Amino acid sequence: MPRTAINREKKILEYLQDHGNASIQDLVAVFDVSNMTIHRDLDKLEKAGYVQKKHGGAVLVEKTALTGRNICEMCRKPVADRTLFLVKLENGEEKRACCAHCGLMLHSREPNIWQSLTADYLRGHVVSSNQAVYVIGSELNICCVPSVLSFGVREDAEKFLRGFGGTMMTMEQAIQQLHGMMHALEA
């Protein structure tokens, strides 16, 4: 498969993550390719289970993908949709974590990540985990402690912070913070 096709498929997925859904016309306009090409890309993505074609467009498969293997890769807790963290590897394997706490630990130990996604705690959809904002150590202990919740929009995280406390961090900072805490516990 030509490299450009793979890149485009990846970009289509990113586009769908940002927008939730897209019409064929949208994608044709955004990627400047033919109708046929978009259909072919979407067929491939659909076969791989990432998207669902409907109404002359495509939607991202989220909830339906959550039925199988719903155990956290790190702590073996069942995974709830609301706090899901998903790591997709380059070899097509998919690993799930119960919340951003385990998810960030998982993310930091996997070398060949293709894509990693986290559930926006407020809005319920998944967002790209390196663009998300994380609130660590709030009073809302939903899953693992210290609690880590992710938000796609900074304002949402700020609003949450005012109600429940905690510290707002980028993914990079959150991973460092968690590793620091783990070392402190081991010492």
CB nearer to Zn ion: give 102 or 117: 102
| Candidate ranges 45-53, 117-125, 138-146, 157-165; the one touching Zn ion (CB under 5 A) | 138-146
Q: What's the min distance (Å) between Cβ of 144 and Zn ion?
A: 3
- At residue 106, the 3 state secondary structure works out as helix
Q: Residue 121 corresponds to which tokens in the numbers above?
A: 């705690």
Q: Provide the mask over 30-59, with x wherever binding to Zn ion is found by CB under 5 A and - wherever it is not.
A: ------------------------------
CB atoms within 10 A of CB 167: 14
CB nearer to Zn ion: give 38 or 132: 132
- 78: which DSSP letter? B
Residue type, 124: G
How far apart CA 85 and CA 121 sit, in angstroms, is 11
| Candidate ranges 27-35, 53-61, 69-77, 169-177; the one touching Zn ion (CB under 5 A) | 69-77
Sites for Zn ion among residues 71-100 (CB under 5 A): 72, 74-75, 77, 98-99
Q: What's the min distance (Å) between Cβ of 185 and Zn ion?
A: 16
CB nearer to Zn ion: give 101 or 107: 101
Q: Are 84 and 96 in contact (CB under 8 A)?
A: yes
Residues whose CB is less than 8 angstroms from the CB of residue 153 and which lie 6 or more positions away in sequence, other chains included: 120, 122, 123, 133
Residue carrying the six token digits 């991202």: 60
Binding residues for Zn ion, rule: CB under 5 A, are 72, 74-75, 77, 98-99, 101-102, 143-144
